[in-house]
Amino acid sequence: MPTGPVALHDLRYLDEGDRVVVGRTDCDSYGVFPPDGAALLRELAGGRAPQDAAVWYTDRYGEPVDIDEFLDTLRDLDFLSADGSADGSADGSADGAVAHAAPPRWQKLGAALFSPLAWACYAALVVAAVAVCVADPRLAPTRGNVFFTDYLLIVELTILFGQLPFVVLHELFHLLAGRRLGLHSSMHLGHRLYFLVAETKLDGLVVVPRRQRYLPILAGVVADVLTASALTVVAWLTRHPDGTVPVAGRACLAVAFMTLLGILAQLYFFLRTDVYHLITTVLGCVDLHTTARELLHNRMWRLLGRTDRLADETRWDPRDRAVARWYAPLYAIGYAAMLAVLVFIALPLAWHFLGTAVAAVTDPAVPAARFWDALLFLVASVGQLVLAAALAVRDRRRSRPS
């Protein structure tokens, strides 16, 4: 046991009543302590030697503490400084205030991005987008906006690659909203099947007061609304004197419509969407998604008399159990939203794409450019399905036990 004070990294504390979440936001290492354990940690961070802190704990709480085991826990969490010298001061406040640590990069940019002036500009942009749609209904979001040109391959490539910058922007808003709070949030690119996706890591929110988590969670939706609004205004600005919208403007409307579909997808409550994370944060849940899913499955298996397939309900957090009873029906709303998008948007778009492509390939009078465009579109579409199936089979084989 060290004879003098131990050196701790900069820590953040969030007091949640019956537990205290403590962690390092610079490396995303967090632990949940009982209030007395957090108090002992604060004493160590305040400069007490371990043995003195153990005596203080016994005097305060009337029972001994295994200080060696406690220090081992801190080492496992990487809370102790490896070189044995203090590298910062931990904040002992109970309200999760930022410790005296080096601020993350782009923190000032994040603060500016969500400043009152920025919100005023965002509101003006949304109002402008709504105004131009009212003034010229052709700019309003409809599925017909997707077909901004007769060349299907150009439409497909524009939709596929035109959205990528705004997907990154969506995650960048999440990242900067976290950096604004002093979190070392990070973003990386990945893939799902053959689609490129961007993902933001916001683990540091666990030591941020609940009311301050809402903006980082919803920042991506804010970015999507601004993207759709900006593209609509750009389309309006590109109009010809006679009011017609050129190809570039119609392409903006196509990407804007697809961006709005992404916002609608936030209502797929059977997935862990941004709105799902907002609900769990507001209600203080731990793993509402799993609990609600298992609750529905248990109800189904009981109706079928298959009690041998019931999930163990003792594993559920009490708060999750209470909320899941009314949250579970939202699963049905999520599936209904997805079905509505499928029936009223996805299938009609697919039918239009396919019908137009087949007609162009089979019509001998169609121009050569349209023929090859339609043929390449069909080949690319079939190729995507084949690639998706091949990747699914590969992943299934990899998941099988050897």
Domain boundaries, the chain: 1-102, 107-267
The pLDDT of residue 93: 38
Tell me how crowded residue 214 is: count the other CB atoms within 10 A of its CB: 14
Whether 198 contacts 167, CB under 8 Å: yes
Q: What are phi and psi of 350, to 5 degrees?
A: -65, -40
Whether 185 contacts 202, CB under 8 Å: yes
Whether 214 contacts 281, CB under 8 Å: yes
User: Residue 393, SS3?
Assistant: helix
Query: Judging by beta carbons within 10 Å of its beta carbon (0-12, 13-18, 19+), is residue 150 exposed, middle or buried?
Result: middle
The pLDDT of residue 238: 95
Task: Report the length, in residues, of the chain.
Answer: 402
Q: What are phi and psi of 21, to 5 degrees?
A: -90, 125
Whether 340 contacts 260, CB under 8 Å: no
Local confidence pLDDT in tens for the 402 residues of the chain: 566 788 898 899 999 888 899 998 888 889 999 999 999 999 999 889 999 999 999 999 999 999 999 999 999 999 988 654 434 433 433 333 333 457 788 999 999 999 999 999 999 999 999 999 999 999 999 999 999 999 999 998 999 889 889 999 999 999 999 999 988 888 876 655 445 567 888 888 888 888 999 999 999 999 999 999 999 999 999 999 998 999 999 999 999 999 999 999 888 888 888 999 999 888 888 889 889 889 988 989 999 888 888 888 888 988 899 998 888 888 888 888 889 999 999 899 999 999 999 999 998 888 899 899 999 988 888 887 787 777 777 777 876 765
CA distance linking residue 224 with residue 64, whole number of Å: 54
CA distances from 332 to 94, 235, 266, 304 (A): 40, 37, 14, 20
The pLDDT of residue 197: 66
Tell me how crowded residue 259 is: count the other CB atoms within 10 A of its CB: 25
Whether 35 contacts 20, CB under 8 Å: yes
Residue type, 35: P
Burial readout 165-193 (b: 16 or more C-beta within 10 A, e: otherwise): ebbbbbbbbbbbbbbbbbbbbbbeeeeee
Instruction: Count the helix, strand and coil residues of the chain and give each as a percent rounded to the nearest 5.
Output: 65, 10, 30
Which two structure tokens, joined as six digits, stand for 109? 């940019």
Contacts of 296 (CB under 8 A, 6+ apart): 328, 331
Q: Please name the residue ranges forming H helices in 181-317.
A: 214-237, 247-264, 274-283, 288-303
The kind and range of the H/E element at 52 are helix 50-61
Question: What letter does residue 77 receive in the DSSP assignment?
Answer: T
Whether 80 contacts 7, CB under 8 Å: yes
The pLDDT of residue 92: 38
pTM of the model: 0.81
| CA-derived radius of gyration, the chain | 27
CA distance linking residue 375 with residue 358, whole number of Å: 8
The pLDDT of residue 384: 75
